[in-house]
Amino acid sequence: MSDDIHALSGAYAVDALDDVERARFERHLANCEACRAEVDSLAAAGAELSAMTVTPPPPSLRDAVLRDIKTVRPLPPVSGDVTTVAGDPGDAGPGAEVPGAEVVGAEVPGADSVPGLANRPDRRAPRWSGPWRGLVAAAAAAVLLIGGVTVYRATTQEPRRTVAEQVLAAHDATRVTKDFPGGANAMFVRSPSLHKAVVVTSRMPSPPSGKVYQLWLQDRSGKLTSAGLMPDRADQVVVLDGDAAGATGAGITVEPAGGSAQPTSQPIAFVSFA
């Protein structure tokens, strides 16, 4: 089960959660406008995947396919009579000597009078000759070309980015870093256009026993609103709860296990987005 419940929005949109996680996320979804918006956008994006523009292959792919076809050795044309004698004891009758090899390009005297040999179909694969050979080569080229387009498209499509990745790469992202004694730091990144903020921690020490780190967003009036709890990990990226578009700042406090409705201690880190 994911420690960051916001990270479940993508899995929820594609119905990839188990029953426990789905129930937990739906309880959260009822009170989180940002997650509802993200689930709606992911569902809409999934519906539009079939309308994605096909990425054309490079011009060199067609030339390479047509060039390599010339190096494939074609089968020679069929010439003369071909008769196959199979080693089937039931065909020659009792006491007859049955050859165990295939005779190609030779006539078998009296074949019409031997039971089982007359009108026996040739079991070998057909060999294409004349105009058919050109059609088969053209069909093979088409298959290779279409396959090349499919492989090229599959390998050039960009993977879907997480909310945190979108915020970090946003054109309007604002970054503010808070350094701690001992070399730890926390970088807050906010994107007004995405209405989200993240915190990226490095070498963050664990909170005191029985305590947790809690995140907060500050509005224009100065009020702090809980933005979720931070998992106990030194290096991580956490998406803050709530709409960060209008936030003027963000902070971290040390709170009792389970978190608090309002801060019960002075922030160990606070940054301004103004």
88: closest CA among 124, 120, 126?
120
For 74, 109, 197, 219, 274, the CA distances from 249, given in Å and listed in that order, are 73, 100, 10, 7, 7
Give me the pLDDT at residue 26, please: 82
Q: How far apart are CA 273 and CA 177, in angstroms?
A: 11
Residues pairing with 175 in the sheet: 189
- For residues 149, 153, 154 and 160, what is the CA-based torsion angle, rounded to 10 degrees? -170
Give me the pLDDT at residue 106, please: 43
Listed by start position, the domains of the chain span: 1-52, 57-77+127-156, 80-124, 162-274
Q: Would you say the pTM of this structure is higher than 0.85? A: no
Picking from 23-37, 107-121, 170-184, 245-259, which range would have the lowest pLDDT averaged per residue?
107-121
98: DSSP letter? -
Half-sphere exposure of 229 (CA within 13 A, CB side): 17
Give me the pLDDT at residue 92, please: 47
Q: Which CATH class is domain 1-52?
A: mainly alpha
Give me the pLDDT at residue 116, please: 47
Q: Please say if the pLDDT value at position 136 is more than 80.
A: no
pLDDT of 151-198, one tens digit each? Answer: 555 455 556 788 988 999 889 998 999 999 889 999 999 999 999 999
Q: How far apart are CA 76 and CA 57, in angstroms?
A: 34
Give me the pLDDT at residue 25, please: 81
pLDDT of 51-78, one tens digit each? Answer: 555 566 777 777 777 777 767 666 666 5
What does the pLDDT average to over 248-272?
93
Q: Which tokens hold the place of 227? A: 């933005």
Return the higher-pLDDT residue of 205 and 12: 205
The three-state secondary structure class of 35 is helix
pLDDT of 211-240, one tens digit each? Answer: 999 999 999 999 999 999 999 998 999 999
Give me the pLDDT at residue 197, please: 94
Q: How far apart are CA 201 and CA 178, in angstroms?
A: 10
Return the higher-pLDDT residue of 260 and 95: 260
Q: How far apart are CA 111 and CA 178, in angstroms?
A: 96
Mean pLDDT over each residue of the chain, to the nearest integer: 74
Give me the pLDDT at residue 258, please: 92
